[in-house]
């Protein structure tokens, strides 16, 4: 009898905990970056953004945002540079297949949101505060983040060779368009 009561309560409480939480299905997305190299800006992007988005502005404690890209999909419109960036000195894409960003805590500051995210690149994980915006129109939404990341914190590049001419900080923009999932 006690088991039946617990099962009955669980079937009522568990769906209620999830009620109001929205899963978002990515419809398009991009990860772009800009970094100084030999005094000039180099623009690039990753070609394979994937996400898992559970987000409701009024339920931030149970929301989560996660995204990852294939490190080998880097594209700066320069094949030789891209091959170098995929190599061991930079992203080592053969060994470290993905770059991942995963929220651990989300908050709202005025009209802007912010999150503590675990950022994992080249086998190194570090926590970062990343501000982002969320705009919803009906069943569609956009998540957008713009932040700076120090490549050396993750062992990307070094002080010798061509890497010494590259800036330490890359400006990154993540733009995700999504629709309400089922």
pLDDT digits (tens, 9 = 90+) for 159-175: 545 555 788 999 999 99
Residue pLDDT, tens place only, 36-92: 887 789 999 999 899 999 999 999 999 999 999 999 999 999 999 999 999 999 999
Q: Which CATH architecture has domain 21-180?
A: Beta Barrel (2.40)
- Position 158 scores a pLDDT of 67
176 contacts: CB under 8 Å, gap ≥ 6: 26, 28, 29, 49, 51, 53, 67, 142, 143, 144
pLDDT at 19 over 80: no
The full set of domain ranges for the chain reads 21-180
Task: Express each pLDDT in 99-158 by its tens digit.
Answer: 999 999 999 988 899 999 999 999 999 999 999 999 999 999 999 999 999 999 999 986
The pair of structure tokens assigned to 28 is 């398009």
pLDDT given at position 110: 86
The dihedral built from the CA positions of residue 150, 156, 158 and 164, taken in this order, carries a sign that is: negative
Which pTM value belongs to this model?
Answer: 0.84
């Amino acid at each position: 009898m006690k088991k039946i009561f617990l099962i009955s309560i669980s079937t009522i409480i568990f769906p209620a905990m999830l009620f109001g939480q929205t899963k978002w299905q990515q419809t398009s997305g991009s990860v772009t970056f800009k970094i100084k190299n030999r005094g000039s800006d180099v623009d690039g992007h990753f070609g394979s953004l994937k996400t898992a988005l559970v987000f409701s502005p009024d339920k931030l404690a149970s929301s989560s945002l996660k995204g990852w890209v294939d490190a080998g999909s880097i594209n700066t419109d320069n094949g030789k540079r891209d091959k170098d960036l995929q190599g061991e000195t930079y992203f080592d894409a053969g060994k470290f297949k993905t770059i991942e960003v995963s929220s651990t805590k989300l908050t709202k500051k005025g009209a802007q949101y912010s999150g503590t995210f675990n950022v994992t690149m080249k086998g190194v994980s570090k926590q970062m505060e990343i501000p982002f915006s969320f705009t919803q129109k009906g069943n569609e939404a956009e998540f957008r983040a713009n932040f700076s990341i120090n490549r050396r914190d993750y062992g990307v590049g070094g002080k010798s060779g061509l890497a010494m001419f590259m800036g330490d900080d890359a400006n990154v923009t993540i733009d995700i368009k999504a629709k309400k999932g089922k």
